[in-house]
Amino acid sequence: MKKTMCILTSALLALSLLGCSAAETQPRSADAPAEAEVLTLEGAQTPDAEDAEDAPLRSMILALQGDSYLLVVQESGLPFVSALDAELLGPDGEALEREALSAGDIVDVYGDGAMTRSYPAQYNGVTRVQLVSEGEAADTAAYQELLDRFAPASTPSAASADAEAGVVNRAMAIPFGEDGLLFVDQDSGMVFTATLPEEIYGLNGEKIAAADIARGNIVEITGNGIMAQSYPGQYPGVTKIQVVAEGAPEDADAYQEIVDSIYVEPDPAEPASLQLQYHIPEAIVMTGATRGGYTWTDEGDEESSAVIACGLHPLQMDLVALNLKEATEVELHFYPQEATAVRAVRWPDSLMSAEDLSAVGDGEAVTVDLSGEVPVLTAEPGYVYAVYADFDAGSVEYAFLAGDKAE
């Protein structure tokens, strides 16, 4: 016979998602990983570079044809592609035309340091390029392997084709959980998950389901090359997956420790978490929202337990902050189950220091677009957002701050 256990009184049930006093409980963090580091690269500091962001990447130009340049960082050997469509200077600071650059030249590349998580990387945030020394095409011979693999994509015709086809990564596939797939890039060793597209093809070109991808399969993943700043990486912009080699299940054994470290079987007794995904100029960011009050029922094999947890008011929580500079669309990804209903409200962040919360009101209603695959709201800097979601197992409140808390 099932029995129901309630933590807190029925009075708290009415209060749990309507805002509770600060004394009742501390805010709970979402189960999703905290915001991860940005993929950035720092070059050697030059005498006249005063700020960290001014430190250039000293690189050799391997190939330039049309508007696409293939370069390699001299210190790390990392290849990257950039249009170098920025201020171009000579060794003495004089202005140069793009035609002055040639294969073998050594240049200092200045910018924000943020590159896409692809191989080769793509550097879109270049602000200035300075020629350090002129070279010759023969100087690129030490990087012939990179030229053989990537230089054809630098030609105008290939660059156009690549823009249509997208960035291609070769990776090993490792299924996990009920329907999850983890990928390990075969060039960089980067571990990531991907939003699976409709176009998935088998070894012989036949269309297959994601469930048909076997442990150890080698696949080519086509997409926009931009991954979320998290570990493992999250690749939402995938358009096609093609199995190119069967591999063997034991080939994936070397990565099992990684799978075990990032995948935990969902606990039905634990409320769903919310991950917030948004775009910044150089990348896609995904971070976990702060979780507040909730009611949750765990339907066990022999008994059902209902938990009621009363959280702080969103204005009192220790909130995760999204680094937004302007109005930005934020996708709401609930895990491990989808929400049946979602609504959101917001307050000016100036009210976070308010002593009398009874005067702040219920917040301004925010439109949540439910027409796509995931709910989306538009967040503006300077506001605290609360998201209320209903699930088959209960209801959960989440919150986040739009803007940098340090500002």
The β-bridge partners of 331 are: 277, 376
Q: In the prediction, which pLDDT does 364 show?
A: 95
- 235, part of any domain: yes
- 45, part of any domain: no
Find, among 347, 332, 289, 324, the residue nearest to 405 by Cα: 324
- 196, part of any domain: yes
> Cβ distance 81 to 120 under 8 Å?
yes
Assess whether 157 and 173 both reside in one domain.
no
> Cβ distance 388 to 342 under 8 Å?
yes
**Residues sharing a CB contact under 8 Å with residue 177, sequence separation 6 or more, in sequence order:** 263, 265
Assess whether 393 and 274 both reside in one domain.
yes
Domain coverage including residue 386: 6-31+270-402
Distances (CA, A) of 122 to 81, 115, 224, 242, 278: 5, 5, 10, 23, 19
| pTM for this predicted structure | 0.48
- 398, part of any domain: yes
Q: Considering only CA atoms, give the Rg of the chain.
A: 25
Q: In the prediction, which pLDDT does 159 show?
A: 32
Assess whether 67 and 89 both reside in one domain.
yes
- 256, part of any domain: yes
Choose one of 102, 126, 161: the last residue of a domain. Answer: 161
CATH of the domain at 174: 2.40.50
* Strands of 226-289, DSSP E: 233-235, 238-245, 273-280, 283-288
Assess whether 157 and 205 both reside in one domain.
no
Q: In the prediction, which pLDDT does 72 show?
A: 92
- 292, part of any domain: yes
Length of the chain: 407
Q: In the prediction, which pLDDT does 18 show?
A: 40
Instruction: Give the number of other Cβ atoms within 10 Å of residue 157's Cβ.
Output: 10
Assess whether 306 and 247 both reside in one domain.
no
Residues of the chain with pLDDT under 70: 1-54, 64-68, 117-119, 148-165, 178, 228-231, 262-266, 281-284, 299-304, 404-407
The β-bridge partners of 281 are: none
CA 329 to CA 99: how far, in whole Å? 40
- 213, part of any domain: yes
Provide the domain count of the chain. Answer: 3
CA 220 to CA 79: how far, in whole Å? 19
Choose one of 261, 280, 301: the last residue of a domain. Answer: 261
Assess whether 154 and 239 both reside in one domain.
no
Assess whether 174 and 157 both reside in one domain.
no
Q: In the prediction, which pLDDT does 151 show?
A: 58
pLDDT in tens, 347-397: 999 999 788 888 899 999 999 999 988 999 999 999 999 999 999 999 999
Assess whether 385 and 284 both reside in one domain.
yes
- 290, part of any domain: yes
Assess whether 64 and 83 both reside in one domain.
yes
Choose one of 161, 193, 217: the last residue of a domain. Answer: 161
Q: In the prediction, which pLDDT does 49 show?
A: 36
